Amino acid sequence: MALFIKNGEIVTADSRYVADIWCENETITTIGKNLPIPNHAEVIDATGKLVFPGFVDPHTHIYLHAMGTYAKDTYETGTIAALCGGTTTLIDFVNPGREEGSLEALEKWRQQTQNPCHDYTCHMTVSHFSDQVESELREVVKQGITSFKIFFAYKDILGMNDGDIYKTLSLAKSLGVVTTAHCENAHIIDIRQQQLVANKQLATKYHHESRPPILEAEGTHRLCVMSELIGGEVYVVHLSCEEALQKVLAAKMRGANIHAETLIQYLLLDKSHAELPNFEGAKYIMSPPLRDKKNQKILWNALQQGFLATVATDHAPFDWKQRQMGRDNFCNIPNGIPSLEDRVRLLYTHGVQAGNIDIHRFVDVASTRAAKIFGLFPQKGTIQVGSDADLVVYDPNCRQTISAKTHHMNIDYSVFEGYEVSGVCSTVTVRGNIQVRDGEFVGKKGIGKFLKRQQRIC
């Protein structure tokens, strides 16, 4: 499909200018002012609007099994919701169980990726380590999956001991693979949860007490130490607090090749939400937990200064009925806050418009940096000749209110219910195909492609 976007104000991570964009054969072919409009092109007039590169969410859980239940979105509903919120590429997770092989889990995941409406890829979780696992991971990398995931948390489920984590990081270094990590102390969390349950402290407010900031900081420190010893590239997922951030900054000062991600939830919500009465707090249970409000300004500052690399969602959509599994014990609440559709507009509203980050940093942390770290740039994450024609025409003058009644995620509540946002994704394209008009999905289902990525080094 040929597409011509005229008179838009193009904004990337490092530039801002008014120009036309000509797209053909799924890529951006020409950028310039006052370009002639081809007769066979569909024309989008972006006068008075911003044109961003399609946004990249580096941390989602579309297909997720947890606590005996499955997340509610599919690759159809999840990618439609993402597109309506401006996200055109997501990175999901393949999570092999203790007794499951990496290739077996990968095939199971592939079977779930039906009718994707935009492009996608995945991280491969390493939940145990052996010669067989190492052999399979080498094959996974050959198939274009060049990022691993390790857990310092979730003892006896996904978490590994330090020795196996060290071996995984060493393998990743040798293969040129980025290792993402959930950094908390699983053993102490397990003990604290047992103590809280024994004391009948079962309400949602005790979730935070079971895994306080110092345990996130400790896990982050262990990752930093191993990374420095090995020399590999690592990425801290869902960093929530000042204590963990300090560990990352100290490691960076010592020369560690480390990136850190925060989530839109941590920037706007705090632990008081998880303390709401009548079990309402269950909607806000995630790990690491929402933190004290004082952390929000610290995280915003770290984003603006470039100390935090990305803003993701950790999208994990469990509905209200599924949350009831933990009504009598917070330990049994499926973790995760659904926010895939809301990230971009909330970040623009509370980041750019509120003066917490500038518009170039906004594009960087929501699109460009993730594409660079995870081997998708410049195919994704920027607007330049030769890049995929993933574009978001954004009308900043339109105001809307977030509501579960109007969102596209397959979930029956919104943690951002009633939040006003500035802007609407008036047009969203995937490789030149118009998938969204005026904030609504109008495109083709099933056009999304799995993205094979290159190793960072030989």
CATH number of the domain within which 238 lies: 3.20.20.140
Tell me whether residue 48 is in a domain: no
Torsions phi, psi of 208, nearest 5? -65, -40
Distance in angstroms (rounded) separating the CA atoms of residues 100 and 118: 29
Using DSSP's 3-state secondary structure scheme, residue 421 falls into: strand
Distance in angstroms (rounded) separating the CA atoms of residues 269 and 325: 23
Of 275, 262, 272, the C-alpha closest to 293 is: 272
pLDDT score recorded for residue 456: 66
Which structural domain, as residue segments, surrounds residue 62?
53-373
Cis peptide before 378 (omega within 30 of 0): yes
- Counting as low any pLDDT under 70, the low residues of the chain are 1, 456-458
Tell me whether residue 331 is in a domain: yes
pLDDT score recorded for residue 289: 98
228's tokens: 């420095």
Tell me whether residue 267 is in a domain: yes
Tell me whether residue 177 is in a domain: yes
Domain count, the chain: 1
pLDDT score recorded for residue 97: 87
Tell me whether residue 86 is in a domain: yes
Buried b (16+ CB within 10 A) or exposed e, 254-289: eebbbbbbbbbbbbbbbbebbbeeebebbbbbbbbb
Tell me whether residue 124 is in a domain: yes
- Which amino acid makes up residue 205? K
pLDDT score recorded for residue 458: 35
Helical ranges in 66-185 per DSSP H: 75-84, 102-112, 131-142, 162-175
How large is the greatest C-alpha to C-alpha distance in the chain, in angstroms?
Answer: 73
pTM of the model: 0.97
Residues in the chain: 458
Tell me whether residue 410 is in a domain: no
Tell me whether residue 278 is in a domain: yes
Pairing of strands 258-263, 310-312: parallel
